[in-house]
């Protein structure tokens, strides 16, 4: 399946076979591809929480509008942003770069994020969104379906997952073997309403 057809075929599937399991090799392949997703300054500020414990999944479902895909999908990934990734030994993000490049970028990272809480959060959400799309397209190419989700109590999920104070949930991606076709597309907006050339 090429990229264009994968994009066209990907849909948000809500019903999954609860008996199906992904192999560890498949999980590692999916997450390894997601880790190739871009992040500003290469800070890699996404963290992928694999919720695999059945009891924990039930608890997460209870604070996620009782959506069945939380427990029925083969894999539930909570994409979480590390808001302080930028200050955690940032030189490691550029360890293979020439020394002058590394020094320049580490200083730039500090200048861009230091003291800017909203920028840190916005960047985490952007990073997680791009990684989520990578996960969904990779899953489709592997023959699986997926569902992006934000219908949950963010604070309750953070508590259940024991997230550190400097991490925030961004969204879920449920992945597995779909057992029901996605509903027909609701309807796309006209191209010229969405695509603006130069200025509004």
Question: Does the residue 94 lie in any domain?
Answer: yes
Question: Does the residue 114 lie in any domain?
Answer: yes
Question: Does the residue 1 lie in any domain?
Answer: no
- In the predicted model, residues of the chain with pLDDT beneath 50 are none
- pLDDT of 137 reads 98
Q: What angle do CA 123, 174, 78 make, to 5 degrees?
A: 40
- pLDDT of 183 reads 86
- pLDDT of 184 reads 87
- What's the whole-model pTM score? 0.95
Question: Does the residue 190 lie in any domain?
Answer: no
CATH of residue 166: 3.40.109.10
Question: Does the residue 47 lie in any domain?
Answer: yes
Question: Does the residue 196 lie in any domain?
Answer: no
Question: Does the residue 189 lie in any domain?
Answer: no
- pLDDT of 1 reads 66
Q: What are phi and psi of 148, to 5 degrees?
A: -80, 145
- pLDDT of 29 reads 98
C-beta of residue 120 within 8 angstroms of C-beta of residue 88: no
C-alpha span between 71 and 77 (Å, rounded)? 11
Q: What angle do CA 123, 126, 129 make, to 5 degrees?
A: 150
Question: How many independent structural domains does the chain possess?
Answer: 1
Tell me the pLDDT tens digit for each residue of 150-188: 999 999 999 999 999 999 999 999 999 999 988 888 899
Question: Does the residue 127 lie in any domain?
Answer: yes
**29: domain range?**
6-177
Cα dihedral 36/2/172/62 (nearest 10) = -150
């Amino acid at each position: 399946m090429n990229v264009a057809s994968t994009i066209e075929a990907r849909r948000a599937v809500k019903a999954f076979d609860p008996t199906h399991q992904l192999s560890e090799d498949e999980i590692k392949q999916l997450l390894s591809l997601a880790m190739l997703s871009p992040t500003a300054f290469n800070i890699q500020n996404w963290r992928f929480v694999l919720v695999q414990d059945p009891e924990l999944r039930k608890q997460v479902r209870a604070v996620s509008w009782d959506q069945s895909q939380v427990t029925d999908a083969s894999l539930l990934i909570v994409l979480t942003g590390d808001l302080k990734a930028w200050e955690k030994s940032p030189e490691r993000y550029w360890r293979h770069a020439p020394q002058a490049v590394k020094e320049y970028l580490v200083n730039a990272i500090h200048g861009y994020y230091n003291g800017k809480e909203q920028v840190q959060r916005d960047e985490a959400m952007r990073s997680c969104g791009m990684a989520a799309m990578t996960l969904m397209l990779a899953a489709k190419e592997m023959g699986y379906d997926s569902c992006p989700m934000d219908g949950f109590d963010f604070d309750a999920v953070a508590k259940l997952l024991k997230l550190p104070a400097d991490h925030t949930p961004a969204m879920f991606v449920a992945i597995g073997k779909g057992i029901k076709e996605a509903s027909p597309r609701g309807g796309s907006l006209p191209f010229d309403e969405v695509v603006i050339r130069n200025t509004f």
